[in-house]
Amino acid sequence: MNILHSNWEKRGRIDMAQDKLKRLLVEKLDAMERNGVRKGKERIITGRRPPRDGFGPRYFLKSCGGRAFLRMNANAYLGLNTHPRVVEAEETAVRRYGAGPGAVRFISGTFEPHIKLEERLASFHGREAGMLFSAAYAAVMGVLPQLVTGETLVVSDALNHNCIINAVRLAQPAARAVYEHLDTARLEGLLEQYLGKAKRVVVVTDGVFSMRGDYAPLDVICAICRRYSELFEEGVISVVDDSHGVGAFGETGRGSEEKTAARADILIATLGKALGVNGGYVVSDRTVIDYLRETAPFYIYSNPITPSEAAAALAALEILDSGEGIGLLKKIRDLAASLRRGFRDCGRETLDGEHPIVPLLIRDTAKTRELVQRLYDRDVLATGLGYPVVPRGDEELRFQISAEHTERDIGYLLDVL
């Protein structure tokens, strides 16, 4: 009885501590709700209806009574996540290698599909070597801190993705500076300002910016980095996260580098958007990749993507780098142009561009939320970006075109709007 009583006392103290934590967490959740940044419950997809009658696929959600939704907020730009060759490659590999890698790579978790995919990614991007991560977020978090010392300046675009912001925090550079979005004159001014104050500079930017679908002028950025590299003892390194660019941008899908005829020192991207699978990667010179394999904790201490995911991603990459891929890229450019034209024809504001991210600028948070709900009521899934997620006055709906969409889908969306 004494032992039992003692255990119950311990349990009571734990429950009291948890109650205190719960109260604090409820307060934080309530504050997030008030500030408009709480995401709330996730919608659960329960099925997919194939294309028919000139419309693209529709999706079913849990507890929605069989309603079929047009999905305008997915990153699968080329529709390769459902491509028969990609699905078949994954099914074949999972039967051959099993469902998971079973270990981190340096122990015994590297499989042949991992190596083949890394080699093909390096070749696709014209680099010497490539390296897989469990996700593009993990790739950025794993790569950037390994390039930063206590005498490094990191310079970043103001609209860079959250993964870059957190990777810079993790890296703890000697200094960090932010230039206004796409303002290359300000970037150059910051490098001038830090001459003699840092040994190394890392300039990091998104290739395509996920909120707006615009892209970094990499030709100008890389030229500035080259020009100033001799003025810093350890040089100026350019790093680009082109997760929304690769497979969705450029004539052959090589992203913002292709669009601007530029080449960064280090390119990071994803397998989970246009390629339709899962995981992230980095490509660069072999020495850089060899160093990252030895030092990046997000690589060393995390399981890789599964062998079957690697096989599926390799199949998707082969499709992208073919005549079929060129056709899919043209289709999403044409559909994006059609949607932009439709917005303008009905007097709505959007941004110029060719990327399949097509923003509809609302410039009011309450109206943005209301319009997202109205679209949902008419069986359209869309993402609204309100303040403080975006600056006040930049509130928008972000529509994302997929090669699975059709002109009839675009017409339906415009009719609803």
Query: Are residues 303 and 283 both part of a single domain?
Result: yes
The structural domain count of the chain equals 2
Banded pLDDT at 5 (limits 50, 70, 90): low
Q: How far apart are CA 315 and CA 251, in angstroms?
A: 19
pLDDT at 290 over 60: yes
Using a pLDDT cut of 90, give the percent of the chain over it. Answer: 90
In the prediction, which pLDDT does 36 show?
80
Mean pLDDT within 2-20: 69
**Which of 304, 321, 338 is where one domain is finished?**
321
Cis peptide before 388 (omega within 30 of 0): yes
pLDDT score at 412: 97
Cis ω on the peptide bond leading into residue 173 (within 30° of 0)?
A: no
Residue 1 predicted with pLDDT over 80: no
| Options 125, 161, 244, 331, the catalytic residue | 244
The domain spanning residue 355 has which CATH number? Answer: 3.90.1150.10
Within a domain: residue 41? Answer: no
| Same structural domain, 379 and 255 | no
Section 244-254 average pLDDT: 97
pLDDT (0 to 100) of residue 9: 64
Residue 61 falls inside a structural domain = no
The yes-or-no verdict on residue 241 having pLDDT over 70 is yes
Mean pLDDT, rounded, of the chain: 95
Position 155 in a domain? yes
In angstroms, the first-to-last Cα distance of the chain is 69
Q: What DSSP letter does each residue of 194-208 carry, written as one string? A: TTTT-SEEEEEEESB
User: Do 317 and 362 belong to one domain?
Assistant: no
Report the alpha-carbon distance of residue 339 to residue 410 in Å, rounded.
Answer: 6
pLDDT tens, residue by residue, 69-108: 999 999 999 999 999 999 999 999 999 999 999 999 999 9
Q: Is residue 328 part of a domain?
A: yes
Q: Do the Cβ atoms of 255 and 208 come closer than 8 Å?
A: yes
CATH code for the domain of 317? 3.40.640.10
For residues 224-232, give the mean pLDDT: 97
How far apart are alpha carbons 56 and 40 in whole angstroms?
28
302-330 tens-digit pLDDT: 999 999 999 999 999 999 999 999 999 99
Q: Which amino acid is at 136?
A: A
Any domain includes 166 = yes
Domain contains 124: yes
Q: Which of 284, 302, 321 is the last residue of a domain?
A: 321
d(CA 345, CA 396): 18
Pairing, β 152-157 against β 200-206? parallel
Over residues 29-36, the mean pLDDT reads 88
Residues 330 and 222 in one domain: no
Catalytic site residue 210? yes
CA angle at residue 382 from 378 to 388, to 5 degrees?
Answer: 130
Catalytically annotated residue among 83, 125, 273, 355: 273
- CA–CA separation, 189 vs 46, rounded Å? 52
Whether the predicted pLDDT of 210 surpasses 60: yes
Choice among 134, 210, 238, 284 that is catalytic: 210
- CB-based burial, 3-19: b 16+ in 10 Å, e otherwise: eeeeeeeeeeeeeeeee
Block residue for tokens 């794993």: 142
Output the pLDDT for position 39. Answer: 84
Does one domain contain both 293 and 379?
no
Q: Is residue 38 part of a domain?
A: no
Q: How many CB atoms lie within 10 A of CB 98?
A: 13
Residue 37's pLDDT is 82
Strand 380-381 and strand 383-385: the pairing is unpaired
Asked if 413 and 72 count as a contact pair (C-beta separation under 8 A), the reply is: yes
For residues 377-390, average pLDDT: 92
Alpha-carbon separation of residue 225 from 167, 190, 204, 253 (angstroms):
20, 12, 11, 25
Is residue 293 within 8 Å of residue 94, measured between CB atoms? no
In a domain, 10, yes or no: no
The single-letter DSSP state of residue 401 is -
**Burial status of residue 268 (CB atoms within 10 A of its CB: 0-12, 13-18, 19 or more):** buried
Residue 8, pLDDT above cutoff 60: no
- 311 and 370: one domain? no
Alpha-carbon distance 26 to 28, whole Å? 5
The Cα 46–Cα 59 span in angstroms is 8
The reply to whether 193 and 104 lie within a common domain is: yes
**What are 299's two structure tokens?**
């690589």
Overall average pLDDT of the 153-170 stretch: 97
- Residue 35 pLDDT greater than 90, yes or no: no
User: In this structure, are 286 and 166 located in the same domain?
Assistant: yes
Give the model's pLDDT for residue 354: 94
305: nearest Cα among 142, 99, 74, 83: 99
pLDDT for 359 beyond 60: yes
Quote the pLDDT of residue 7: 66
User: Above pLDDT 70, what percent of the chain?
Assistant: 97
Q: Which residue has the higher pLDDT, 15 or 117?
A: 117
Residues 272, 410 within the same domain? no
CA quadruple 346, 352, 357, 362: dihedral sign: negative
Per-residue confidence band for 2, with pLDDT thresholds at 50, 70 and 90: low
User: 295, 321, 347 — which closes off a domain?
Assistant: 321
Domain hosting residue 173, numbered range:
84-321
Do both 292 and 397 map to the same domain? no
356 in the same domain as 346? yes
Q: Verify whether residue 238 is a known catalytic residue.
A: no
pLDDT reading at 285 higher than 80: yes
Same domain, 308 and 327: no
Res 393: pLDDT: 92
